[in-house]
Amino acid sequence: MNILDSIMNAGNGAAVRQIGAQVGLDETQTTSALSALVPALSTGLKQKLQSPEGLSGLMGALSSGAHQRYIENPSALAEPETVADGNGILGHILGSKDVSRRVAAETAAQTGLGADVMKRMLPLVASLVMGAMSRQTAASGAAALTSGKPHGGLLEMLEGTLDSNRDGSVMDDITGMIGRTFNRS
């Protein structure tokens, strides 16, 4: 299961409803926003995994187990510390507030939702992304990162989310997302 599916199915849709309630969106709007935000964050994660430091940092964060609670109990998204946790995750994934703002603006343009709403959603979605990955790591152990098994590895979770046009190649999707999101001035 890819990250987006894991988030959408968390608590039979409870995570989607929780985020929507927090930012004032209905379920359809929230699903649209998640469908834009999760691939953007997955692109950042995949880039981080290319370096030994990024891989080590991610595995350390996932092994703490604290992120899993967002998937297992979506009401935890309403806790005040979730936004701080999510902003910390965004800092690691995207690197700067400027990139986070560009992601919010780009996904707002894709979905027709306001950039302010997307900015409020970003830390919540980052928490859910880490929660989905943490749950996968807990279920599969350390080998979860690169497992070649179907539904087995975190890389497969990321790739499934990134192949938005389902053509079997993530490269065209990643190139497009990077061009639209990360390389704008």
Contact 158, 45 (CB under 8 A): yes
Compute the distance between CA of residue 71 and CA of residue 60 in angstroms, rounded to an integer.
18
DSSP 65: -
* Coil vs helix vs strand at 48: helix
Contact 119, 44 (CB under 8 A): no
- Tell me the pLDDT tens digit for each residue of 100-151: 899 999 999 999 999 999 999 999 999 999 888 887 776 665 454 444 443 3
Using CB atoms within 10 A of its CB, is residue 13 exposed (0-12), middle (13-18) or buried (19+)?
middle
Per-residue model confidence (pLDDT) at position 59: 67
Compute the distance between CA of residue 137 and CA of residue 62 in angstroms, rounded to an integer.
7
Give the chain's domain count.
1
pTM: 0.74
Q: What is the rounded average pLDDT of the residues 85-96?
A: 86
- Select from 49, 36, 28 the least CA-distant residue to 164: 36
Per-residue model confidence (pLDDT) at position 167: 56
Compute the distance between CA of residue 21 and CA of residue 11 in angstroms, rounded to an integer.
15
- Tell me the pLDDT tens digit for each residue of 11-22: 889 999 999 999
User: Domain range for residue 53?
Assistant: 3-182
